[in-house]
Structures are given as C-alpha cells and as structure tokens.
Amino acid sequence: MAHLPATAPVTGRHLIADLTGGTGLGDLALVEQALRAAAAAAKARVLGVHLHHFGEGHGVTGVALLAESHISIHTWPETGDTAVDLFICGPAADVEAGLAVIAGMLGATIARQQTVLRLER
C-alpha cells in the first residue's frame, strides 16, 4: 500500500466492512434506522434513504445519500452477514463511529474493516 505524503490533504474517509452475527437483517425499518443513526454518529447529514427488500427471508440493500457522500449496506439474514460502505467527506467525519452504530443496532460483530483516505483533488 502506498503511503500518503504528510502534506497530502485528506478530504474524506472511505470505510468498507464485513459484519457477522447480525439480527433483524431483513427488517427495512431497522436497517433504515441504523443508516440514519450511523450518519448522525459520523457527523453527516442525510439527504435521503433508498432501500430495497429482496423478499421474505431475504436481505436488504440500501443507501443513505449524504451531503458529505454516502453510506451503503447489503444484508444476508440467512447467514447473519452484512456488508457496509461508509464514504464521508469533511474534517469532522467519523466513519468508525458510524460503523460502530450499525454493528450495535444490528447486533453484529465487525469481522473486518478497511479505511481508504480520499485525497483532495
């Protein structure tokens, strides 16, 4: 992995994560609440949320469009797994806090995560 010069201005953090052991992963209202609460914890402003349910016993995919970028989620209730993507710009952004809220609300464990620093262009 290339290292950024100390002077490189970072404008955002892009965190991707896999969660395991979650519950309520087919519950549209819970997933929406988790996205909205994650945005608040990450110090971002929600512009809108769009969710799609894949049918009884299946998961949810969705996105929270933020003034500062986005949070997306895909759930698999049949295995208890969730994939999360938080991309938030701005000096106050706290993607880790947003991820912690999603994991907590879904009763999940963070199996792995990776953060990419996005550079000012």
What residues are labeled active site?
69, 74, 89
| Whether the Cβ atoms of residue 96 and residue 88 lie closer than 8 Å to each other | no
Dist. CA 36–CA 64, nearest whole Å: 7
**Which residues are CB-neighbours of 77 under 8 A, at least 6 positions away?**
22, 24, 25, 26, 57, 58, 59
Packing angle between helix 28-41 and helix 95-105, nearest 10 degrees? 150
Q: Which residue in 65, 102, 71, 101 sits closest to 86, CA to CA?
A: 71
DSSP 90: S
